[in-house]
A and B are shown apart, each in its own frame.
Chain A
Amino acid sequence: MLSPRSGERQQADFPRHLRLMRRTFSLSLALLLLLSPSSATAAEPIKLGEIEPLTGKEAAFGQQAHRGVRMAIAEINARGGVLGRPLVVVVEDNQSKPGDSATVAKKLLSREKVVALLCGGTSSNCLEVAPLAQTARIPFVATTATAPEVTEKRDYVFRSCFIDPFQGAVLAKFATTTLKTKRVAILTSVSASYSVGLSKVFREKFTARGGVIPAEQKYSEGDKDFRAQLTAIKAAQVDAIAVTGFYTEAALICKQARDLGLTIPIFGGDGWEAPELIEIGGQAVEGTYYASHYSSESTAPEVRDFVKKYRARYNGETPDSMAPLAYDATLIIAEAIALAGTTDGPKLRDALAATKNFPGVTGRTSIDAARNATKSAVMITVKNGKPTYVETIDP
């Protein structure tokens, strides 16, 4: 076996289809090198992996977040990349389906050999990715997953947004001090870990502030009919409804609530934030409130600068908070790579954990001991079909 063989023989021993594959591969590699502008420097790009719901029910989250990541990468590469190497992102679509995030994460980790993972979309998606990243010892930054358990007990998992206990406290404070409500009904999506967690914290914080929750109703992701739950809520005579799920259902809930003659305020968490909320809900979402990570109306220079660049790039559209969160996360990873001086997993992890006061679009971001970002929240209302800033809340 160990005796030296001629190259010819070795090739003949090689299975035919593998040889063909190898040839195609080296050919495409050569083509890629020819096409890429950096072929002169021949620096190997640093690969980031991104998992997003680009299609399906939560597509609005994924599409916005991916734009944020692409913007950040374009800017980093324009500045000369990281460690003298350009940054590229390999994006995979989980189709807003349970189970698909894990499948594409495995592909990114084993085949693409990415140095870090980013995942937008829901907490359920990120919970699928987190254990895989932990086992592979590849740092993973969740950009919009607010459920606490995403980062718990996994020291390779970070996030660039606030968490649900914080958000639940913000909503409870908003309901008691701004809306001045005493009786609030909760409508929870039982098949979304985000919604279940947010409802739980809201219930605790709201009752701690002296509020009463006379009605709690449930639904599942993908449900279309909420009239039954809303009729029960109407009978409970409440001052407001907290809908802790995502935008598609939230819009339908607002519509059916108004159809049933419920004119009380309806509010929710950052899962509401998408252009589709207003598109589907129309007149019915007018005057409803939701929590968010930033407001595009803010006068902070970082925000103004970001909104201007985003509009120039994407036909004048105004970004909601998914894009800036993903943008910040990408910049934080790039900075951590520069700081670590390597793309080695454990060293990169340590550099990420040391992030302090990073001047992002969504506020100054510090990573705390539990690997969560700490920053304040804003409340947004829909006014004349446009998301409008109400107030900034620190519970």
Chain B
Amino acid sequence: MSEFLQQLLNGLSLGAIYALIALGYTMVYGVLRFINFAHSDVFMVGAFIGYYLGKLVPENTVWGGLVVLLAAMIGCAVLGMVIERLAYRPLRGAATLNVLITAIGVSLLLEYSGQVFFGATPRTFPAVFPSSNYSFGSLVISSNQILVIVVAALLMVALQLIVYRTKIGTAMRAVSLNPKAAQLVGVNNDVVISFTFGLGSALAGAGGILYALNYPSIDPLMGVMPGLKAFVAAVLGGIGNIPGAALGGLLLGTVETFVNGSQWSTYKDAIAFAILIIILLFRPAGLLGKFTVEKV
């Protein structure tokens, strides 16, 4: 029983990170109907911002950690907006496939520029937050795991409030529903899309820091696998759906952890993706997605 609870806890802390990254994929998809493949590399840049800043602030302090987290979020938000402005906006009217291929190009650009600027050698992420372990009976949880779950939960609630309770959130939903109609009623689409990219990238930045805190070895290609998993999580939950992305991330993280702790750990990704296929067979729009008939 205690092993089950421990695995559940491990799975939730891994899933929370997937969920944070998945939110970025889902938000951009919701507004622009395309997959921003560069998202996983914004996640990597977030971790590297943390790496360089972490050397400037004192280690093992709460305020130092928060400064690093906030700076990475702001840095990634700016990066996300710049990417949107330079790479995606000129293609606004073009076919989705063109934008998709551009996204893959931006992703590769970030990965290999990262290898040039940061070097390909894995770096050790500094311990910016104070860390300690708490045990409840045979259950052990580290403060970093708690931090991941708490920060992820807070950010998701904040995101939900922004999307449903603010003016810009209403505008985002309007653009998502019908960009032309939104423009007609006075929404500035460029500003809204830019904001969406900023918000999604900030979450990726936070995800990067939290990931690096738990697994303190970072390199320019670190975003590839978590990015792929998060993308799957977003599809699993129903792409374009915010609570769906969170649910998909948590589910994927938990399944992966349970498979990893069993005899079949070699097949962990295969099993996780097989579950995805089965779910999509029965619910083609994902767990929480609504299936809509394409209007002709």
Show the binding face of A for B, using Cβ within 8 Å.
55-57, 59-60, 95-96, 190, 217-220, 222, 224-225, 227-229, 231-232, 234-235, 248, 251-252, 255, 259-261, 276, 279-280, 282
B121 at the A interface (CB under 8 A) = yes
B292 at the A interface (CB under 8 A) = no
Which of B217, B258, B261 lies in contact with A224, CB distance below 8 A?
B217
Show the binding face of B for A, using Cβ within 8 Å.
2-3, 6-7, 10-11, 14, 115, 119-122, 124, 127, 133, 135, 140, 142, 144, 211, 214-217, 219, 225, 256-262, 265-266
Determine if B7 and A231 form an interchain contact, defined as CB atoms under 8 angstroms apart: yes
Taking the closest CB of chain A, its distance from the CB of B11, in whole angstroms, is 8
Determine if A222 and B3 form an interchain contact, defined as CB atoms under 8 angstroms apart: no
Taking the closest CB of chain B, its distance from the CB of A8, in whole angstroms, is 47
Interchain CA distance A225-B211 in the complex, whole Å: 10
Determine if A55 and B120 form an interchain contact, defined as CB atoms under 8 angstroms apart: yes
Top-10 shortest CB links A-B: A228-B260, A224-B215, A228-B261, A55-B120, A227-B10, A232-B261, A235-B3, A261-B140, A228-B257, A59-B121
Interchain CA distance A55-B112 in the complex, whole Å: 13
Known: A95-B120, A231-B3. A255 touches B216 (CB 8 A): yes
Determine if B124 and A59 form an interchain contact, defined as CB atoms under 8 angstroms apart: no
Interchain CA distance A280-B259 in the complex, whole Å: 26
Q: Looking at chain A's contact residues, is the secondary structure mostly helix, strand, loop, or mixed?
A: helix
Residues in B with CB closer than 8 Å to A96 are 120
Contacts A/B (CB < 8 Å), 13 sampled: A56-B121, A222-B225, A224-B211, A225-B215, A225-B257, A227-B14, A228-B7, A231-B6, A231-B10, A259-B133, A259-B140, A276-B124, A280-B124
Which of A56, A231, A255, A282 lies in contact with B261, CB distance below 8 A?
A231
Closest A residue to B258 by CB, please name it.
A228
Residues in A with CB closer than 8 Å to B260 are 219, 225, 228-229
Residues in B with CB closer than 8 Å to A217 are 261, 265
Interchain CA distance A94-B214 in the complex, whole Å: 29
Closest A residue to B2 by CB, please name it.
A235
Known: A219-B265, A225-B215, A280-B216. A260 touches B140 (CB 8 A): yes
Residues in B with CB closer than 8 Å to A95 are 120
Closest A residue to B218 by CB, please name it.
A224
Residues in A with CB closer than 8 Å to B135 are 261
For the complex with contacts A55-B119, A255-B216, A259-B140, 16 further pairs of A-B residues with Cβ separation under 8 Å are A56-B120, A56-B219, A59-B120, A225-B10, A225-B14, A225-B215, A227-B257, A228-B256, A228-B265, A229-B261, A232-B261, A248-B122, A252-B216, A259-B142, A259-B144, A280-B216
Determine if B142 and A248 form an interchain contact, defined as CB atoms under 8 angstroms apart: no
Among A56, A60, A224, the one with the most B-chain Cβ atoms within 10 Å of its Cβ is A224
Closest A residue to B260 by CB, please name it.
A228
Residues in B with CB closer than 8 Å to A251 are 217
Residues in A with CB closer than 8 Å to B216 are 252, 255, 280
Residues in B with CB closer than 8 Å to A248 are 122, 217
Interchain CA distance A59-B3 in the complex, whole Å: 36
Residues in A with CB closer than 8 Å to B261 are 217, 228-229, 231-232
Residues in B with CB closer than 8 Å to A260 are 6, 140
Residues in A with CB closer than 8 Å to B10 are 225, 227-228, 231
Closest B residue to A255 by CB, please name it.
B216
Interchain CA distance A59-B115 in the complex, whole Å: 13
Interchain CA distance A280-B217 in the complex, whole Å: 7
Determine if A232 and B257 form an interchain contact, defined as CB atoms under 8 angstroms apart: no
Residues in B with CB closer than 8 Å to A218 are 265-266
Interchain CA distance A66-B142 in the complex, whole Å: 40
Residues in A with CB closer than 8 Å to B133 are 259, 261
Interchain CA distance A180-B11 in the complex, whole Å: 34
Interchain CA distance A224-B214 in the complex, whole Å: 9
Closest A residue to B6 by CB, please name it.
A231
Interchain CA distance A55-B221 in the complex, whole Å: 13
Determine if A276 and B122 form an interchain contact, defined as CB atoms under 8 angstroms apart: yes
Residues in B with CB closer than 8 Å to A231 are 3, 6-7, 10, 261
Taking the closest CB of chain A, its distance from the CB of B223, in whole angstroms, is 12
Closest B residue to A280 by CB, please name it.
B124
Interchain CA distance A191-B295 in the complex, whole Å: 48
Known: A228-B258, A276-B122. A57 touches B3 (CB 8 A): no
Interchain CA distance A249-B124 in the complex, whole Å: 12
Interchain CA distance A251-B115 in the complex, whole Å: 22
Interchain CA distance A220-B225 in the complex, whole Å: 12
Interchain CA distance A248-B14 in the complex, whole Å: 19
Residues in B with CB closer than 8 Å to A59 are 120-122
Closest A residue to B142 by CB, please name it.
A259
Residues in A with CB closer than 8 Å to B217 are 224, 248, 251-252, 280
